[in-house]
Structure 1
Amino acid sequence: MAEAMDVIKEKCYLATSEADLIPFLEDSRKGVQKLIEQTKKRFENEKRQLTQLETMKFHEKEGYAKGYQWIAGVDEVGRGPLAGPVVAAAVILPESFAILGVNDSKKLSENQREKLFDLISDCAVSIGIGIIANEIIDQVNIYEATKLAMNEALAQLSPQPDFTLIDAMPLHYSDCELSLIKGDSKSVSIAAASIIAKVTRDRLMKQYDQLYPGYEFARNMGYGTKKHLEGLQMFGSCPIHRYSFEPVKSHFMKI
């Protein structure tokens, strides 16, 4: 007698290889065949993600081969918005790191980032977060503020890194470092840092949306969307706006 659909569905969910699907291949029910196809697609997706993970661990593996033990990835979010802080994260992952799906945070959905944030937080050797407020950004410029955020994040790591992988800009925090253009797509450690930084900043902007309604910070994260600019025209600037950024600067000068 054929197994019930809910039983087969559970077995497909738990399947780890196509060999686990063999008992159901001759089941002619459309529902069963659909489950088999969905499970095969899951295997294919996991295979692609595993290949991606191995590719993104290239620089970390090189570092371990050279004798480095604590390899940190560093990235930031929030350089372009008109409001809010710039946030950087530094992450040291274990050498055995094997979580699938870690990638440049911009390529992930909010739901994917939230899930990966928790997984990375649970397994990381150490995580540091640097937050530089809009007032400091206005004082020193966004480039220097970004470096301050990255250095602050690195300073929180324990143990301290002996090799640092950085997205785009040189820092000279560690004696040994490697700056990678589009590093959040090339290094799993930088990608992990980009996820931690992105989720941290998004959560902050959602809190700011409650404090300063009218700009839709929870939706635009401080970027200059149409609704944000309309809010700026209607309500003026608020305490987290960057007065050195246009059009906030021009609007502020008119007041």
Structure 2
Amino acid sequence: MTCALLYPQNLFYPLKSLRALDFVDKVFVFEFFDTSTYLQKFFPELQEKIGYISLRADEKLKLRDLPNILTNLQLFGEYIRTPENLSYYYLYQDLFEETFSIKIRERDSSEEIKRAFLILLLAENLDANLLEVEKALISFEEKWENFFQRNILFEDQFYENLAIKEWVSGPENLWNLKRRVDALKRIIPLFCWENVSFLDTLLITEAELIWEMKEEALILSETELSKGIYLLKTNKSLNKNLGLPEEENFPKFVQILAVF
């Protein structure tokens, strides 16, 4: 096993996903509008280990207005946080949606694609914010420990490991997993798969998703690579679970690199 597709997220959040990098040469991720920027910001040392699966050029052109819609959605969300503004929104919903340019007008399959993409863009943005918080907490704890190691010559009875992350961070799992998976199923055929048709392994950190796939496919073997990391080999393709066609120019996913 040399390569794997990170699924369904496209950033290394939760951070436990990084533990799988010891067992692959390259991890591929879906490239949205800001994905590479986020990954370069948070994981500059991993760039050689990351590969990108991009949207087809024609599809990217159709979705070029989505970053602007996403920005307006975020501004709109900030605006309606107060009860007063929220009540105004319910009274003048169409006017608000026109003002903030967040209304998707098409009433066909293109609307579904845009809505699915917006869900995934919002999820990516959320993961990026959570990564920012988590990395800041880790950095603070390290500085706290280094301060005492450098400045305290003797054992200090008042020193206490802050363990901030334990009581500030939430559980290490993806928010709105089902909505992410459903949205990704809708758009996954729109990516360029020709150059990555050799992929056969999914890197998954979500136990719920792993159990669902195990129920639908017979597990031929289950190998523990390290504590909490397993390689599962299935008896059939998992493409149907992903919304990916069973065609020659698409990968055939038959393995799961599970990180618990």
* TM-score category (smaller protein): under 0.3
**Normalising by the residue count of structure 2, what TM-score does the alignment of the two structures yield?**
0.23
Bigger radius of gyration: 1
**Normalising by the residue count of structure 1, what TM-score does the alignment of the two structures yield?**
0.23
